[in-house]
Amino acid sequence: MFAAYAARIDRDHPLDGLVLGERPAPAARDGWTTVTVKAASLNHHDLWSLRGVGLSAGKLPMILGCDAAGIDPDGNEVVLHSVIGQSGHGVGPAEPRSLLTEHYQGTFAEQVSVPTWNVLRKPKELSFAEAACLPTAWLTAYRMLFTNAGVRPGDTVLVQGAGGGVATAAIVLGKAAGLRMYATSRDAAKRARAVELGAEEAYEPGARLPRRVDAVIETVGAATWSHSVKCLRPGGTLVISGATSGDRPAHAELTRIFFLELKVVGSTMGSKDELEDLLSFCAATGVRPVIDEVLPLDRAREGFERMAAGDLFGKIVLTP
């Protein structure tokens, strides 16, 4: 079957390890289901995999891709939960959790196999492309906002780095849930787009906000860390799920953190139950993932290049 896969690890030039070509179809396995992929979406995790983060050379070649929606063997339209081993189903209770592509072949292919426990029904209201955007970036944003940030309708939230998949999701979900959303971006067009999607205002990075916020959604890392901490009200919460600009900020703002009793919460992906809730939330409210572009799988390299350059707003979807 045709697939986009990592053939080698290159920390400095990750796309040099990306190959588009034939790979073996999944073999039958007890407790697992093979899904025919109709749509899959790109995440920064896929670029990090090509750099060897979470993916060892001994696991190569590895089909990339965490997220997918497709058809199960019974003809049902389904969405995949990307965390393998979270429950022990299909892998055994002693295996630590991992994401697809860390130990098991991913979704950028015509077919993918996952533990049957990881297969959820796709709501009829969502297209395959829309559903394929939810299991990583949108689920991450959902957990950050509604599980870890501790916010409620009427609260104010700052989202750093509008344009990325998680940041975009947080703006749309927060607006739909009655939160007052602010956003930042270096790019004027992305700031304007963030406002169109529901942000009350969008600012350049480091700008002074009109008020301190109840929570910050942080995925950028070092470049925005100091600003994120300074924007919080006393007792506010900073939720971090990534560090695309690096994980060593010049100013950690430790004094401000302890003096104002701020909370810093790490957040990774989300549970199967949260994904079910997110699917229901989108179906019931009309909220839909922001899709930047849909590409055929044989043009996957273009999608990787755009993501690496930061030249996108929302998700890139691949269709086999």
Per-residue pLDDT of the chain (320 residues; tens, 9 = 90+): 999 999 999 999 999 999 999 999 999 999 999 999 999 999 989 999 999 999 999 999 999 999 999 999 999 999 999 999 888 888 988 888 899 999 999 999 999 999 999 999 999 999 999 999 999 999 999 999 999 999 999 999 999 999 888 999 999 999 999 999 999 999 999 999 999 999 999 999 999 999 999 999 999 999 999 999 999 999 999 999 988 888 999 999 999 999 999 999 999 999 999 999 999 999 999 999 989 999 999 999 999 999 999 888 889 999 99
Q: Is 247 left (phi over 0), alpha (psi -120 to 50) or beta?
A: alpha
* pTM of the model as a whole: 0.91
Q: 137-266 — its CATH code?
A: 3.40.50.720
Pairwise CA distance, residues 265 & 105, whole Å: 30
Range(s) of the chain covered by CATH 3.40.50.720? 137-266
Q: Find out if CATH 3.90.180.10 is the number for domain 2-134+289-318.
A: yes
| Ranges for all domains in the chain classified under CATH 3.90.180.10 | 2-134+289-318
- What the block records as the tokens of 123 is 């709501």
Closest CA to 31 of 76, 70, 88: 88
Beta bridge partners of 131: none
